[in-house]
Amino acid sequence: MPRDIFHAMARVPRHKFIRREYRTQAYQNQAIPIGYGQTISQPSTVAWMTALLELQAGEKVLEIGTGSGYQAAVLAELGVEVYSIEIIPELFERATRRLQKLGYTKVHIKQGDGYYGWPEYAPYDGIIVTAAPDHLPAALAEQLAERGRLVIPIGGPSQPQYLWKFIKVKGKLKAYKLGEVCFVPFTGPGIGEHQTGTASFTSKDTSNFL
């Protein structure tokens, strides 16, 4: 794990992002339910996806799937501006209150369908998706800056999921297929528009990207 990410995660009190009945498990390397069929990812997955973004302080990041707010807090600790979207109203409200209480002023959250991204603040230097669609949404590819990095799990309900990293080079996406993962499914009306909303890319299959 890169040292800056290790220190960023050490500064975030993970137990404050977890329901009281699960707090004894807060610092174990496992995913934990947060309600409404969602989970907070295990710390090793958070570290891996964050490292793949290759962030620099001052950059702008879009997160799809705020959940508990933990991943957004880790990103903010790296000195980036975070724009995060959560589709479930109750989780949006909880994460907003939690992040405000903890003083994360560089995290901006809205409630809505993350499939369409947040075009008002595009382009983004990094985009991270914390739920698995069965394809790469075109809107997210469009909102990625030149040389920007997009990290997303992809896999349908009856298919294995793989983590992918995309880099935009001269307006086109280079794709790197990484290891197998397990995320909650991407939800919302936008995912049903995949036949006309799938981004195209050039793929490289590798398990040694980092």
Which sequence positions are flagged as catalytic? 41
Q: What sign does the dihedral 95-88-27-6 (CA atoms) show? A: negative
CB hemisphere CA count around 2 (13 angstroms): 16
Q: Cβ-count burial of 208 within 10 angstroms (0-12 exposed, 13-18 middle, 19+ buried)?
A: exposed
Query: 152: how many CB neighbours lie within 10 A of its CB?
Result: 24
Q: Which of 78, 97, 102, 74 is nearest to 86 (CA)?
A: 97
26-34 own/partner pairs: CB under 8 Å, 24+ apart: 34/67, 34/68, 34/91
99: enclosing H helix or E strand: helix 89-101
Q: Which residue has the tokens 């980036």?
A: 80
